[in-house]
Amino acid sequence: MSFKTLFIYFGKLLLSSLAFSVGVMIGGMVVNLLGLQPPQVPEGFDTSLAMQYMLLESPLLALALAMVARGIAGGFLTRTFVLSLLTWIAYTVNTQLEATIFTDFGGGFWYTVIDFGIASLLSGVAAAWLFPSGEKGEGIAAAWKGFFGQRTTWDWIWRLAVAAVAFMPIYYFFGLLVVPFTGEYYQRNMYGLQMPGVDQILMVLLLRSVLFLLACLPVIILWRKGRLSLFLSLGFALFVLVGLLNMLVAYWMPVSVRLPHTLEILADEFVYAGVLVALLKRGRRIPELITASQALR
């Protein structure tokens, strides 16, 4: 990659991150006009400082979406929808659902999901426009039909059923690994953290698992590169959207809380992406090999 190409790519990332920032500001005006109640904030939280952190880290969000955008085929509107949905669910809805049980400042659900819903939409628009895939591909209906036509109905039933709950054991396993490092903060209700009951965790975790599948499935259906690149791009995007951005902006929490959770999220999102790819995505067929195999019959 030449310096000029790298410079242009970096400029596109900045433009894409600017779209996110503009979306946050527009969303803030919309939720205020609607009179929605903002979320509670933890002790020591500075809204202006948090916004500065958010703007500084927004190129990471743009990079995560760019990696996915370059691999999915389809028209502009289709790709915008897929990228916006992934951002909104993984970055906003997921965070708010988790905050409702693991923190005591999880209010303002609709305020946040609408505010950042607009930012997610503008981020999807920017990523779809600035980072084309090079393959227009068929329409979403044809892609959907072709994707699900690769396996039998029963095969899809069990695969989708497993995929719908796959995030639960993965999250729970890696979450247990960090309890020795962070559990005390939750038990003592430090920094606004709290320890919910297992029944609460499982209920919210099931909902998150289903939502993650709904967000990731369109990406998998429209993906036109290899399975390895899908695993890496989707895993990185989930890691950034689900946890990295939030851990970076949570400046009021000590590193002893943020670092273990960052490593936990890095592990569980890549493992989860790997499970989805293994369950749902077939490898790309090589036409030459197929033709040669048929000729030998």
Q: What is the pLDDT of residues 52-67, one digit of tens each?
A: 888 888 999 999 999 9
pLDDT band at 183 (very low <50, low <70, confident <90, very high): confident
Report whether pLDDT(236) > 80.
yes
Q: Which pLDDT does position 296 carry in this prediction?
A: 31
CA gap 267, 244 in Å, rounded: 12
The model's pTM is 0.89
Average pLDDT over the chain reads: 87
Instruction: Report pLDDT for 251.
Output: 84
Q: How far apart are CA 208 and CA 24, in angstroms?
A: 23
92-121 burial: b if 16+ Cβ within 10 Å, else e: bbbbbbbbbbbbebbbbbebbbbbbbbbbb
Q: How far apart are CA 175 and CA 247, in angstroms?
A: 15
The closest alpha carbon to 280, from 144, 172, 168, 171, belongs to: 144
Q: pLDDT confidence of 262, banded at 50, 70, 90?
A: very high
Question: What pLDDT band is residue 261 in, cutting at 50, 70 and 90?
Answer: very high
Average pLDDT for 159-177:
95
pLDDT tens for residues 95-135?
888 888 888 766 678 888 898 999 999 999 999 999 988 76
Predicted confidence at residue 79, as pLDDT, reads 93
Backbone angles phi, psi at 133, to 5 degrees: -90, -20
